[in-house]
Amino acid sequence: MNLFNEDSFLHSFFLSAGGFIGLNLLWIISSVPVITAGASTTALYYCALKLHKDRDISIWKCYWKSFRGNFFQATTVWLGLIMAGGCIWLESRAVATMPMPMAGVFTYVIWGMVLLLIITALYIFPTIASFENKTRRLIPYALCFAAKKPAYAICMAMLTCLPMYFTLVDAQLFPVYLLVWLMCGFSLTAYANSWFLWRLFRPYFSDGESKAETAGVRSESDQYVF
């Protein structure tokens, strides 16, 4: 038995590992300018979702197709999220100077805003990758998807935030965590999140053109379709 023939487990494993490493490197390189992080994250989720649907794709072609096609919208959204995060941070600094109990009330408000921002950030870039809508409608769509399956939102938040938390707090294993992130951490996180996202999005792609048009889903004739 040849363990390295095209039908073997090892061949499939190394092929998949190479795809995740390549996708991870594409995301890191294209996110270096920071301002492009929104477009690169959208492209990352586009590829991750297509992997769940089609299994075998051209990472390079799919990534850059989504990156170019969604660049302006994703960048606009990314800059908006940064501005919102900055406003929340400034508000938290102002709360520290408030007297009690007003400071306590505003602290809960700020934590609510942080939670809303995290949920929006988790869903909005996969939504851009999957659906064709005007920018002003993206946040309501993203929040609707999160509200539709709250358990999915919790799992995605844990998959995204917990590894980052352990990376930052465990100084002894930080080099190991860093190596994993640089090799395949971001692409594996996106792929794990996309397991939930694809099950959430899939009904909008399976009921024909009329439902797709209602939901704003890209049709089969669109060049960015799944």
Q: Closest by alpha carbon to 58, among 92, 90, 15, 28?
A: 15
In this predicted structure, what is the pLDDT of residue 61?
A: 92
Instruction: Tell whether the model's pLDDT for residue 18 goes beyond 50.
Output: yes
The predicted-structure confidence for 56-81, as pLDDT tens digits, reads as follows 788 999 999 999 999 999 999 999 99
In this predicted structure, what is the pLDDT of residue 134?
A: 86
The predicted-structure confidence for 141-181, as pLDDT tens digits, reads as follows 999 999 999 999 999 999 999 999 988 888 888 899 899 99
In this predicted structure, what is the pLDDT of residue 224?
A: 39
Task: Reduce the DSSP state of residue 99 to 3 states and report it.
Answer: coil
Tell me which H or E stretch contains 119: helix 102-130
Taking the C-alpha atoms of residue 81 and residue 103, their distance in angstroms, rounded to an integer, is 25
Interval 85-102 mean pLDDT:
84
pTM: 0.84
The predicted-structure confidence for 173-191, as pLDDT tens digits, reads as follows 889 989 999 999 999 999 9
Tokens linked to 39: 């477009």
In this predicted structure, what is the pLDDT of residue 12?
A: 53
Q: Are 189 and 41 in contact (CB under 8 A)?
A: no
Taking the C-alpha atoms of residue 181 and residue 167, their distance in angstroms, rounded to an integer, is 9
* Distant-in-sequence, close-in-space partners of 153: CB < 8 Å, separation ≥ 6: 119, 122, 123, 146
In this predicted structure, what is the pLDDT of residue 194?
A: 94
Angle at 71 between CA 131 and CA 120, to 5 degrees: 55
In this predicted structure, what is the pLDDT of residue 160?
A: 93
DSSP state of 98: S
Under the banding of pLDDT at 50, 70 and 90, the label for residue 15 is: low
The ranges assigned to domains in the chain are 9-210
Taking the C-alpha atoms of residue 67 and residue 30, their distance in angstroms, rounded to an integer, is 9
